[in-house]
């Protein structure tokens, strides 16, 4: 067990990404979502250096990107 700062003010929510290799922390008062890499063997967190500026995040939701009727993923459509 270890303590890890989220790098923000008033962390309100945190969760693992869909693949379990990254942890996301929503910092409500500093208006950021910060990311951490998760060590697969020990579970230790390492700040990834990523921070997304957003308006007062209180939760994080992951969803699959939509496809067009042909089945092409949205990421490919957007290019």
**Is 68 contained in some domain?**
no
**Is 27 contained in some domain?**
yes
**Is 51 contained in some domain?**
yes
Report pLDDT for 68: 58
Report pLDDT for 72: 56
**Is 71 contained in some domain?**
no
Q: Residues 24, 53, 28, 64: is their CA dihedral positive or negative?
A: negative
**Is 72 contained in some domain?**
no
Residue 78 has pLDDT above 70, yes or no: no
What is the count of structural domains for the chain? 1
Of 50, 57, 62, which Cα lies nearest the Cα of 13? 57
**Is 78 contained in some domain?**
no
Model confidence pLDDT, tens digit, residues 21-77? 999 999 999 999 999 999 999 999 999 987 889 999 998 888 766 655 666 555 554
**Domain boundaries, position 55:** 1-60
**Is 66 contained in some domain?**
no
**Is 74 contained in some domain?**
no
């Amino acid at each position: 067990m270890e303590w890890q700062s989220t790098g923000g003010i008033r962390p309100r929510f945190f969760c693992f990404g869909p693949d379990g290799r990254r942890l996301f922390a929503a910092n409500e008062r500093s208006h950021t979502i910060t990311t951490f890499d998760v060590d697969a063997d020990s579970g230790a967190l390492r700040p990834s250096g990523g921070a997304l500026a957003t308006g007062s995040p209180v939760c994080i939701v992951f969803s699959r990107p939509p496809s067009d009727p042909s089945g092409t993923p949205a990421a490919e459509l957007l290019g």
